[in-house]
Structure 1
């Protein structure tokens, strides 16, 4: 009997069991904690208040209010996105838009790589927390849970393109590095713009529209001169003053867009959509109801945002003081929408108009058949418009919407074919940062070859640490210079 072989077999079995248990635990965390935003926000609020030694009634109440606020936010999103999906269907039918053929689907991709995505999400978030804890210049903890899932999916899809033969360990390690670097750096490159929107720096911006927002901020600089041009201060004639109410203007604008789409679409298709609500409902009335539903959803979303911000921001002080010093939460795009709701609507409408114009242009030239991504046009166009408004008033908001329509159209056309063998729907569901991530990671293959995929984590994490160390040194020098100036002033006095 070969005792050493038997011992080796038992050791392999034990190691395999431990590995499977750890994997199951990480997947559980991804599915049931990081992927459930109300629970994640509620638990962080609970921990923050407990660390501040608040009374138990404040700890429990604050945690539940924060979680309920996020639930209300998502209810608002579900309400108006339901209308947007109908709007998207009608628009696509009106212009005859059908997505081009692809070899694979997103469902097939997640069936094959869903476990890998969950591991990347969990390990990536833990690595992100470690970076924020060890390097104070990181400053922000990324807390947009549903986008953490999507960016993990995008990273794995891009890595499969870069290294088609890579095993699961390679995908997990490389994907973890990519998403951890992104979650750590993204709120930082948004910080200068966020200081214009939130001068008190209560929280950061954690949304995959950041590239478009930064581009808007830069492009809007020549238009500077916010003042009276602020979207929230625009003077309107008395007869049009009802447009100052964002609920009224939203209902009117979206209803008008829908009515126009219904007029151009196939009557049978629209009738089928209306019948899903009520078989006796006229398509025209359905369009009006969807516009009202959209406005109601926005009102619910904004209420939810205010509710959970009122709890998470002060509660986070406990984590900032005792666990991760100097850290602030980085939150989803709707967190800034209450600052300039009129800009949000202006950005959405402009983004939609530009995208539809390009849809027609691309179809005429035979380049690509675009699919209107109404939900992305709203969130990305709205966020870019808020930052454009902060820089240059309403011209900046319009510019943000226009750039969003252009970016999403060109990005979809360029990225669909790249993802056709993995998950092409990611190109139509995408925010601008998704496109950039796919292009950067997938670009490793033609530049370095498939075997060089390990350059991705080395470059990603190496650059992240180097940037954070440089920022830390600059902040210390700035702080030291401030102290010396105060000392000189005190001495001379």
Structure 2
């Protein structure tokens, strides 16, 4: 258990170290020189660290918007849900989560080695959060002891094996080759976006072909464009909130325009750092992983975190974020008015950016700009229903966590796992 805990807490939960070890193994198998091994391993680790820091900056730049929407769209008279909370749940069930994670990953390796499903799930932190969700689902379903571990292992293994394979053809259409697929809870929403875009889109016109007048040529720079868009969003929401609420939600000691401008710039900086880390990591992990693919698991491809696909259509990411924020807020207002959910469901800004931003890239790949817009609009609506229907299934455990990070495969697979458990009378 000491060794397993070390692997879980010190390696698997550190994406940079996890992928660094993968790169190291791949380079050793290829019998690269000592210098090439050190260079490839450390550049992979550094690239992931840069990517992670960019992600953290993006999340920090978005969080005040989440707080603002909490104030604007809190459903009055909603039933209160009292989960045990993430920290307490991790303290009680951390070992079961860890064991399920390691077992599921080993099953993934065996399946990749001996079947046609050749993807290997390498998004380290997601390898932790999926068994976390499935352990919670098992607890809610009344499992205990080894039953929890078996339940979580089975569903984690199914998820990390099946979903990267499902999204793989869509990723190939975006990047033009089969060098990687996605290992991220965006898959369900991205599949919806990809299919919808294929039906209603126009592949001849890409989001990346957007033409700007000569005077607005600076908007071709995604860093500038994203900063300006977030600046405008903060201003609009701030005006709607009013001075008193802005002081509480945004910042009490800054002018609205100054604060909004700095949040916009922070967003642009985070996106730039993230894309830099992605490019650096891709340049090292793909050639290094080839060693594993050639010698140990023939034809295997890595399933990686969603920002890995952002550089292929950065305009689509921004479009997906904006469009899904609009459609999800409208959906929230409608379901709140009709009283569909008996508890507060709030806009999911993080899911809108990462999951639906990715879905928009997939939509652009299958249906161009129109596909990206329509696909992310539909995904924004579905996201609200996914989180709404998954919350009561985690009522006593981690419903607080799913309200912030759900609306994606975490919610979808919670519904699937709970449904299957009921089907078999568990």
Q: TM-score normalized by structure 1?
A: 0.82
The equivalences for 1:65-464 within 5 A come to: 65-96=43-74, 100-104=79-83, 105-135=85-115, 137-162=116-141, 164=142, 166-227=143-204, 229-265=205-241, 267-275=243-251, 280-368=253-341, 369-428=344-403, 429-450=405-426
Q: After alignment, is 188-197 or 261-270 more displaced?
A: 261-270
Q: Specify whether residues 374 and 400 from structure 1 end up closer, same or farther in structure 2 by C-alpha distance, changes over 3 A only.
A: same
Q: Is the 8 A contact 1:129 1:141 kept in 2?
A: yes
Structure 1: distance between partners of 2:391 and 2:150: 26
Alignment of 1:470-481 (within 5 A): none
Gaps of 5+ in 1: 1-22, 451-493
Per the TM alignment, residue 426 of structure 1 is displaced from its structure 2 partner at its CA by 3.6
In the alignment, is the contact (CA less than 8 A) between 2:126 and 2:184 conserved in 1?
Answer: yes
Cα distance in 1, alignment partners of residues 161 and 74 from structure 2: 41
In 2: Cα distance, 1:338 partner to 1:431 partner: 24
Write out aligned runs for 1:7-86 (5 A): 23-86=1-64
Between 305-314 and 194-203, the greater mean CA deviation after superposition: 194-203
Distance 2:401 2:257 in 1: 32
Please report how far the alpha carbon of residue 432 of structure 1 lies from its aligned counterpart in structure 2 after TM superposition.
1.9
- Matched residue SS, 1:190: helix
Query: How far apart, CA to CA, are the structure 1 residues paired with 2:7 and 2:242?
Result: 46
Cα offset for 1:297?
Answer: 0.3
In 1, Cα distance between the equivalents of 2:420 and 2:171? 32
* Change in CA separation of 1:292 and 1:79 when aligned onto 2, cut-off 3 Å: same
Q: Which runs of 5+ in 2 are unaligned?
A: none
Structure (1 or 2) with the larger CA radius of gyration? 1
Number of positions where the alignment pairs a residue of Structure 1 with one of Structure 2? 421
Deviation at 1:127, TM superposition (A): 1.7
Contact 2:351 2:408 in 1 (8 A): no
Instruction: Supply the distance in 1 between the matched residues of 2:209 and 2:420 (Cα, whole angstroms).
Output: 48
Tell me what 1:481 maps to.
none
Q: How far did 1:272 drift?
A: 4.0
